[in-house]
């Protein structure tokens, strides 16, 4: 066995101390050859032995980007089995952090196991906006216990500071003559926070123990984002069935995985297993080589350069082939119809012909009236008695 240098890594020292302590107890009941130690080793070996992947782990590995899978293949990391609750890449990440010493406790005397590290990481993956997930305290886990105490103290200090600021605000408002209104607002805000927390927290049954997980509402307003989730069809290779348990969305780049998980949980009640994100750039087709003309473009047969006979034959050919006269006539009729002009007599004096006809009719009517008037006068004088005859 190689000697351990004085400035070795803390993890190496920890392994050496464990090995030395186990070898020093060889003569007791709990030595390496005892029945209990053999059972522990067998359980540890069965727990760390490769196992087939679960459907969720298999789908998560299949959705891994190709570049990441290539890098894992170069490092010799297999993805076709799982070790306990962890996949092979996750276990490799755990060992990498152990070698760096990134998982040591502040005093340098404790390192979490792979399962504990995976639970803490999974807790970060399952965060939801407006809801605080409280994992159960595991026995013999001082790192988690210390973290829970630190978070509890931090939360208690924040609540005390919030209460002091609220009391200060109430006192200042009372000094200005608004104490009653301020106290009512304070009570209303507190009641709203309690109602929000009660609505977000799940109901607990009588047989629920403290070992299970808990959800606690943080009592803050959660507003819906002003964004659009575009549901897209999944990429399905040819010959493979469509996966109905996966969904593809197009979202803005400012949206995080926590936002996506919270939105789907709050709006549709979906439990998210994993989320993959990538930057999608729509393809832009460019033509770097522009075509260059070698000769000037000239219309093959210009109408202005033709003789009268050639122009008539050309126009006849165009009319027979492309119906230019018919199209021009149809276009003019469409313009007339769009203006609301219809052929026919409508009785209105709008044209020169109609004006002359109307004037002639008026003159004829006037002349007839004059003739009738003259005839009446003549008849009146004819019927009148002659005074000479009566004498």
- What region does 82 belong to: left with phi over 0, alpha with psi -120 to 50, or beta? beta
Q: In angstroms, what CA-CA distances link 24 with 10, 19, 354?
A: 21, 9, 130
Q: What is the DSSP string of 167-215?
A: HHHHHHHHHTT-HHHHHHHHHHHHHHHHHHHHHHSPPPPTT--TTS-EE
In the chain, what percentage of residues exceed pLDDT 70? 59
Residue 363: predicted pLDDT:
92
**Is the pLDDT confidence value at 213 over 60?**
no
Q: Give the per-residue pLDDT at 204.
A: 44
47 confidence band (pLDDT: 50, 70, 90): low
Q: Is residue 346 part of a domain?
A: no
Segments forming the whole domain that contains residue 148: 10-203+210-223
From the list 165, 197, 196, 169, the residue with the least C-alpha distance to 183 is 169
Most confident of 75-79, 118-122, 214-218, 291-295: 118-122
Q: Which of 77-81, 141-145, 194-198, 251-255 has the lowest mean pLDDT?
A: 194-198
Task: Report which of residues 179 and 118 the model is more confident about.
Answer: 118
pLDDT band at 165 (very low <50, low <70, confident <90, very high): confident
More confident residue, 149 or 46: 149
Q: What is the pLDDT of residue 112?
A: 82
Structural domain ending residue among the three candidates 280, 297, 325:
280
What is the pLDDT, as a whole number, of residue 183?
56
Residues 55 and 198 in one domain: yes
Residue 14 lies in a domain: yes
More confident of the two residues 179 and 244: 244
Q: Based on the domain organization, do 130 and 247 belong to the same domain?
A: no
In a domain, 78, yes or no: yes
Measured distance CA(21)–CA(101) in Å, rounded: 22
Predicted local distance difference test score (pLDDT) of residue 103: 80
- Considering the domain architecture, whether residues 60 and 23 belong to the same structural domain is answered as yes
Mean pLDDT confidence for 141-158: 72
CB atoms within 10 A of CB 299: 8
pLDDT tens column, 241-259: 888 888 899 998 888 898 8
Tell me if 22 is assigned to some domain: yes
Query: Same structural domain for residues 132 and 194?
Result: yes
pTM over 0.75: no
Q: Which of 155, 189, 223 is the last residue of a domain?
A: 223
Percentage with pLDDT > 90 across the chain: 5
Q: What is the pLDDT of residue 14?
A: 31
Question: Looking at the 3D structure of the chain, how many domains does it have?
Answer: 3
Say what the pLDDT of residue 364 is: 92
**pLDDT of 358 above 60:** yes
Pair (105, 46) in one structural domain? yes
User: 83-99, pLDDT tens digit by residue?
Assistant: 677 777 888 888 888 88
Residue 185, pLDDT score: 58
Q: What is the pLDDT of residue 182?
A: 52
Q: How confident is the model at residue 292 (pLDDT cuts 50, 70, 90)?
A: confident
Distance CA 115, CA 94 (A): 10
Mean pLDDT lowest for which of 209-213, 227-231, 253-257, 329-333?
209-213
- 194 and 61 share a domain? yes
Give the side-chain half-sphere CA count within 13 A for 78. 8
Where b means 16+ CB within 10 Å and e means fewer, 202-216 reads eeeeeeeeeeeeeee
Co-location of 218 and 229 in the same domain: no
In a shared domain, residues 66 and 193: yes
Give backbone dihedrals phi and psi of 347, rounded to 5 degrees, phi first.
Answer: 85, -5
Residues 16 and 34 in one domain: yes
Residue 309 — very low, low, confident or very high, per pLDDT cuts 50/70/90? very high
Mean pLDDT of all residues in 152-171:
78
The answer on pLDDT for 191 being more than 50 is no
| pLDDT tens readout for residues 258-274 | 888 888 888 888 888 88
Residues 241 and 196 in one domain: no
Q: Is 344 within the bounds of a domain? A: no
Instruction: Establish if 1 belongs to a structural domain.
Output: no
359 found inside a domain: no
Compute the residue count for the chain.
Answer: 391
Q: Please tell me whether residues 44 and 180 are part of one structural domain.
A: yes
* Residue 350: inside a domain: no
Residues 245 and 218 both lie in one domain = no
């Amino acid at each position: 066995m190689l000697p351990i240098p004085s400035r070795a890594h803390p993890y190496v020292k920890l392994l050496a101390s464990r090995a030395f302590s186990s070898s020093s107890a060889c003569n007791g009941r709990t030595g390496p050859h005892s029945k209990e130690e053999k059972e522990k080793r067998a359980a540890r070996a069965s727990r760390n032995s490769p196992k087939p992947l679960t459907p969720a782990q298999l789908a998560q590995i299949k959705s891994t980007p190709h570049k990441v899978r290539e890098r894992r293949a170069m490092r010799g990391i297999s993805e076709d089995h799982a070790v306990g609750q962890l996949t092979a890449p996750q276990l490799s990440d755990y060992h990498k952090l152990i070698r760096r010493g990134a998982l040591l406790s502040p005093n340098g005397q404790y390192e979490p196991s792979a399962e504990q590290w995976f639970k803490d990481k999974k807790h970060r993956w399952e965060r939801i906006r407006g809801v605080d997930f409280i994992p159960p305290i595991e026995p013999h886990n001082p790192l988690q216990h210390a973290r829970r105490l630190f978070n509890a103290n931090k939360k208690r200090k924040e609540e005390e500071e919030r209460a002091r600021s609220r009391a200060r605000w109430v006192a200042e408002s009372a000094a200005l003559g608004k104490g009653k209104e301020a106290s009512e607002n304070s009570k209303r805000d507190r009641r709203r926070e309690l109602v929000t927390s009660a609505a977000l927290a799940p109901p607990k049954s009588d047989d629920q123990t403290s070992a299970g997980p808990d959800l606690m509402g943080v009592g803050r307003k959660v507003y819906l984002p002003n964004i659009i989730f575009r549901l897209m069809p999944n990429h399905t290779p040819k010959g493979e069935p469509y996966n109905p348990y996966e969904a593809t969305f197009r979202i803005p780049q400012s949206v995080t995985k926590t936002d996506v998980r919270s939105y789907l949980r709050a709006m549709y009640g979906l439990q998210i297993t994993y989320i993959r994100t990538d930057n999608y750039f729509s393809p832009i087709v460019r033509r770097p080589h522009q075509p260059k003309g070698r000769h000037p473009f000239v219309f093959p047969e210009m109408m202005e350069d033709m003789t009268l006979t050639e122009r008539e034959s050309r126009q006849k050919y165009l009319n027979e082939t492309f119906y230019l006269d018919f199209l021009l006539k149809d276009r003019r009729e469409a313009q007339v119809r769009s203006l609301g002009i219809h052929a026919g007599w409508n009785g209105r004096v709008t044209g020169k012909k109609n004006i002359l006809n109307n004037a002639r009719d008026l003159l004829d009517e006037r002349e007839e009236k004059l003739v009738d008037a003259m005839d009446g006068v003549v008849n009146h004088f004819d019927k009148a008695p002659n005074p000479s005859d009566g004498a």
